[in-house]
A and B are shown apart, each in its own frame.
Chain A
Amino acid sequence: NAGVMQNPRHLVRRRGQEARLRCSPMKGHSHVYWYRQLPEEGLKFMVYLQKENIIDESGMPKERFSAEFPKEGPSILRIQQVVRGDSAAYFCASSPPMGTANYGYTFGSGTRLTVV
């Protein structure tokens, strides 16, 4: 039973390029959350998705960032025209259907994005 799978583990992009981060939730989990961890900072909530729906994107920057969780396939966090300040670790977490997240999220190992 694989956990939350994120890929790639490391991603290097030049300024202005696009970054695509993928997350496959745990089997049986229908809720996906993206968090960003800046160097020496805590995790900041970005977005919460269910299949084909964005439930809460209050933590997403208004420009250049988007997220989706299609009916088939992994959840994608897309960052367009990356800048140096986007360099961070991006973590995906998943949980079972609503009401059972009291057992906590299951986190992936993260994608470490470096913008050069």
Chain B
Amino acid sequence: GEDVEQSLFLSVREGDSSVINCTYTDSSSTYLYWYKQEPGAGLQLLTYIFSNMDMKQDQRLTVLLNKKDKHLSLRIADTQTGDSAIYFCAESMETSYDKVIFGPGTSLSVIP
């Protein structure tokens, strides 16, 4: 089935690391994504990882994928107040097209 789960809220202090977790159910997922949504805006693709990879690093962002446990995480190093937003985990299904299913989003609050 198609289901992506995330915790809804996360609060961290400025300068600390944030870790946002996600679980998904479909083992045939091909790509997994992290999107960021700032208030009143659309979704912006932050990063993605192919399902045969374990880790991907992009500046302050580190994505870890545990395919056995169907667990994806996003680590934001040195979290800044500008990182406050909703972060969506998403998976691309292996169907006849690249249908993307989103989780409910994790609202990250950064405390100065």
Contact = CB atoms under 8 A, between A and B. Distances in A.
A98 interface: yes
Nearest to A110: B42
A92 B17 CA distance: 32
Band of interface residues on B: 20 to 34
Given A101-B92, A103-B48, A104-B48, A43 B43 contact: yes
A35 B102 CA distance: 10
B42 A101 contact: no
Determine the main DSSP class of B at the interface with A: strand
A45 interface: yes
A43 B104 CA distance: 7
Interface string A17-33: 00000000000000101
A91 B42 contact: yes
